[in-house]
A and B are shown apart, each in its own frame.
Chain A
Amino acid sequence: MSIVPRSCRTQARRRTALASGTVIALSLTGCGLGTAGGFAPSGDLGGPLAHVKPLDDATIAVGSKNFTEQLILGKIAVILLKSAGAKVKDYTNIPGSSSARQAQLQGQVQMEWEYTGTAWIAYMGHSNPIDNSIKQWKAVRNQDLKQNQLVWLKPSPENNTYSFAVKQSTAKKYHLKTLGDIKKVPQKARTFCVESEFANRNDGFQPMLKAYGLKLGTSVPRKNIKTLDTGAIYAATNNGLCNFGEVFTTDGRIKALHLKVLTDPKHFFPLYNVAPVLTKKIYDEYPQLKDLFEPVAQAINNKVMINLNAQVDVDGREPVDVANDWLHKKGFIK
């Protein structure tokens, strides 16, 4: 005999109905929603990759940061994996290095191109870089394998380091050649365009200024600093919004806008050789990934990267098309 008066029982029944309705509703979220990756073509592996064992039953998620070079490298990886028969989840264009790194640490992404210098200082927290690219790579590879079960394949000769670029006219006016010459410029003209990540990293803006005898707030007033998105800095530097623009040395717009890159005599910046990085799980399961990526990595160097970046940033082509054409030209894809 239910002691609950009849009206309360209907209330209870109504509440459970509502609750279960919401739960069901929540579960049907996101069906059929892909990611921002969009389309990527595929072909047949050729040339040095012809004998790579197929990856037909593999599902691999490829991630990349959100600036042009990383997009191209990301699409190269996607096309290679698809051509090798793998099912690919396209997570290219992740905003920010650490998020991309975190996505791989959490296993949401299995393959990324990463820079040895960034890993050594930004992720592993070391303060002084190793001045030789192979030694730097080995140090990063060993630590990452031991601590984070990440496998660094052989790095490419390409070294995409941070630096500052100036307009040719500004360079001539103050005879600027190296980062040390910034001190020669009057305080008022020490204007910088940086993106938020660089402004805060340990291999970033403030430590670099200190390395070259400058200090943010005093010798370089805070209001001289403009934070912009990575890509926007080139145009800003070119139209004089700031005299010094933080650049990636392999960006295509440096050549196109005839900007002058200042050298790093004190070797403040570490070496940033790019290398394919795989989670140990996926690598153990498909060791042939090593043969798939390493030949391609060797074929990438600064000159090649600058050309590819320019095609996207200057000519406005889609990174996936640029990557595809390059792979065909090099014969990796037939």
Chain B
Amino acid sequence: MWQFIRDRWQDIAYSSYQHVSLVVQSIILATIIAIAIAVLVTSYRRLEPIANAISAVGLTIPSFALLGLLLPLLGIGAAPSVVLVVFYATLPILRNAVVGLQGVDRDLIESARGMGMGPATTFFRVRLPLAWPVTLAGLRVSTQMSMGVAAIAAYALGPGLGPYIFTGLTQIGGANALNYTLVGTVGIIILALILDAILLLIGRLTTSRGIRV
């Protein structure tokens, strides 16, 4: 096994970097979209049940089916992979962002507005920081899930460690089938745990000491 890795360490490193890069960029995008939707949902009461229904239905669409649907629209390569990961990454973050924003104490918002903070300032200096810890929890769950989902992107020639798994599949019975699959699968798990640790660190740095649990 180690010989297998030593021979291909350059390609493994390159694919690992691509995998993390795909997930991180998609997570950033998903966070922006999720928070934007969460703001809309929390400011217009009647949108909330609709948002919950959509996210419930959204989760039921299997990732493999969605990739299939994206292929004809976006062709092969990075585009369908990003859209796939962003779609699944958004849902957990959205749910937590909504919970987080609703959790902000009404009085705090009123006193912020009462002190002359405009709606945007109130959002960025009061509502978002207070909702951040809960949103971040959603971000961590979403990252873990996305690392797994990103593996399927290989079916559309997307970047990352996915191809190793699919090569392992096509060479079942061959000498290196197990090595390919193990490198792909275990590699993704290790990268996921590293990402999780980094997110924990980011969480510690970005959450103010006053509300750190």
Contacts and interface: CB of A to CB of B under 8 A. Distances in A.
B119 A10 contact: yes
A17 B171 CA distance: 51
A231 B169 contact: yes
Nearest to A321: B7
Nearest to A31: B25
Given A17-B120, A93-B157, A229-B169, A34 B18 contact: yes
Given A22-B32, A36-B162, A99-B76, A91 B18 contact: no
A315 to B, nearest CB: 6
* Residue picked from B4, B36, B157, most chain A C-beta under 10 Å: B157
Contact of A314 (B71, B76, B174): B174
A196 B7 CA distance: 33
A66 B160 CA distance: 17
Interface in A84-99: 91, 93-95, 99
A39 B10 contact: yes
Given A35-B77, A229-B170, A231-B172, A26 B29 contact: yes
Contacts of B86: 29
B75 A103 contact: yes
A21 interface: yes
Interface string B37-63: 001100100000000000000000000
A18 B173 contact: no
Contacts of B11: 38-39, 318
B78 interface: yes
Contact of A106 (B75, B119, B157): B75
Contacts of B83: 29
Contacts of A28: 25, 29
Contacts of A232: 169-170, 172-173
B25 A316 contact: no
A21 B158 CA distance: 26
Nearest to B179: A316
Contacts of A17: 120
A332 interface: no
B29 A29 contact: yes
B66 to A, nearest CB: 15
B163 interface: yes
A39 B13 CA distance: 11
Interface in A46-100: 66-68, 91, 93-95, 99
A251 to B, nearest CB: 11
Interface residues of B, number: 54
A195 B81 CA distance: 25
Interface string B162-180: 1100110111111111010
B82 interface: yes
A28 B86 CA distance: 13
B137 interface: no
A173 interface: no
A14 interface: yes
Interface in A218-241: 229-232, 234-235, 238
A154 interface: no
27 contacts: A14-B39, A14-B43, A22-B36, A26-B29, A28-B29, A31-B25, A32-B21, A33-B25, A34-B78, A34-B159, A35-B158, A35-B159, A36-B158, A36-B159, A38-B11, A66-B170, A67-B170, A95-B155, A229-B170, A231-B172, A231-B177, A235-B172, A253-B173, A313-B174, A316-B176, A316-B179, A318-B11
Interface of A: 10, 14-15, 17-18, 21-22, 25-26, 28-39, 66-68, 91, 93-95, 99, 103, 106, 108, 229-232, 234-235, 238, 253, 257, 312-316, 318
Interface of B: 4, 7-8, 10-11, 14-15, 18, 21-22, 25-26, 28-29, 32-33, 36, 39-40, 43, 71, 75-79, 81-83, 86, 118-120, 154-160, 162-163, 166-167, 169-177, 179
User: Which 7 A-B pairs have CB atoms at the shortest separation, nearest pair first?
Assistant: A235-B173, A316-B176, A316-B175, A231-B170, A33-B78, A36-B163, A25-B32
Given A93-B167, A108-B76, A230-B170, 8 more contacts: A15-B40, A36-B15, A38-B14, A39-B10, A91-B76, A95-B155, A95-B156, A313-B174
